[in-house]
Structure 1
């Protein structure tokens, strides 16, 4: 066990660290459960280097918690090298879990703000996510989504060597069509999880849905819903309950691919050309 980490955790908990049990982790951070002399258990994320990823994740969790409509782990401590959270013990989902989850997400999406974006930039996976605020009555959601989500990913793809002439051409066409493609879906900015795939929710010990690993901003709620459908893992009951609580705007199904595109481009930049074909297929659908 790293002595400096042990000392930091002891200071955070106010009790001597006894054990640090690894629970794995992804390509971004290592994850452990810390056990202390006074019986406390805390979930700990650590990563090498000096960056603000854990601080921004903590702020995303606090924003979600402030809604009061869906559970997230409580933030105990955040600094540039470490994030300390409440441990969420888990259970098997009850039969109505997806319906409860769908209703709670719909209520989260009714939480609004005066601007698209967020007060700070954060991360989608390991990729910076730009959240420069844009007011709905100025350039609006299509401009925000194209500039700070899609075009930003294209520029990364150019840097990473993934942006072919075909991809750039399709983006040029999409820029001329984005306003029309998103027309009719205008809504106030909604509080979004930002990276809502099936690996980023848990079933808490009491059966409640619990969101983890957010990339929060205020945007169009269809962006969250599009991500839920990219890799699956959300049952029919989830969508039925969501739509009963917060009916979608007309044409939502046709716009779904536009919102998947952001995450496909991010996966192209993070994991390489195996995602290129899916990106081009979505662009051809809207730009062909």
Structure 2
């Protein structure tokens, strides 16, 4: 794979690298702020990754950019070959500033408009990643089918492989997945979703401009994005009020919110262990008790 210097030359910057410093915040990739005589870049680096590892993120950023609703960093380059060497994703460097009520308001409004970008069905037409976990996708006509078979079921199977499904949890999850259509709408409307919208995946840039970063896009129920924003915090009341003014949430949102949070909790259970088990169990009990 080409070196960083060769990559920068390839994108039209043959100038000398002046500074390169590590940036904290991610536990999957090495991240750097690189300053050349010509430009500033935000660069991610990883090794031994699949060919679509950075391509999926780059495509997600471009799809969001194409909606012209909320800003994302410009993508300058990404590697598309599997191998043992370093792979790079080269992005526009966004100078982060402290969030303000104005940037939070603009984020809520922008996300609401982004969710108006619709798809032909539910899912996505290529694999993506959630964290470091590869995520297979296809497009289907049923949201319940997609969410059950391509989101919950793979995490269930991985948790089973990892020994993180004691008998009660396993039985409850199976029961919940078997009855998912009792709780989720089959055709809620297909919106372009960020897909990994925890509080660390947006930044406030210059001029109080919000930017979305690190997407794992799909077409699905917009409530899935909103539910994840509430799971680990990081969003203000201003954000939610601004979103609601542009795209009011349906009355049943609170009923489905835990179901959408369940997917992300299963991901965390698989990535980080039993610390997330009790939260998974609480949600499973709630819905299996309702069904029972």
SS in 1 for 2:206: coil
Is 2:60 aligned against 1:60? Answer: yes
How far has the Cα of 1:98 moved from its partner?
2.1
CA distance in 1, matches of 2:117, 2:27: 32
**Superposed CA offset, 1:98-135 (max 9, x none):** 22211111111110010111121100111112221112
Within 5 Å, which residues of 2 pair with 1:226-245? 226-245=227-246
CA distance in 1, matches of 2:48, 2:178: 41
The partner residue of 1:167 within 155, 159, 169 is 169
Which residue of structure 2 lines up, in the alignment, with residue 127 of structure 1? 133
Which residue of structure 2 lines up, in the alignment, with residue 23 of structure 1? 23
Q: Is the 8 A contact 1:201 1:212 kept in 2?
A: yes
Structure 1: gaps spanning 5 or more residues: none
Task: Let me know the Cα RMSD of the aligned residues.
Answer: 1.7
Q: Is the 8 A contact 1:17 1:34 kept in 2?
A: no
Paired residues, number: 281
Is 2:216 aligned against 1:215? Answer: yes
**Cα distance change on mapping 1:13 and 1:159 into 2, 3 Å:** farther
Within 5 Å, which residues of 2 pair with 1:63-74? 63-74=63-74
CA distance in 2, matches of 1:239, 1:25: 24
CA distance in 1, matches of 2:49, 2:158: 22
Which residue of structure 2 lines up, in the alignment, with residue 275 of structure 1? 276
Structure 2: gaps spanning 5 or more residues: 81-86
CA distance in 1, matches of 2:71, 2:106: 12
How far has the Cα of 1:147 moved from its partner?
0.9
CA distance in 2, matches of 1:25, 1:174: 35
Which residue of structure 1 lines up, in the alignment, with residue 192 of structure 2? 191
How far has the Cα of 1:20 moved from its partner?
1.9
Query: 4+ runs of 1 displaced by more than 6 Å?
Result: none
SS in 1 for 2:183: helix
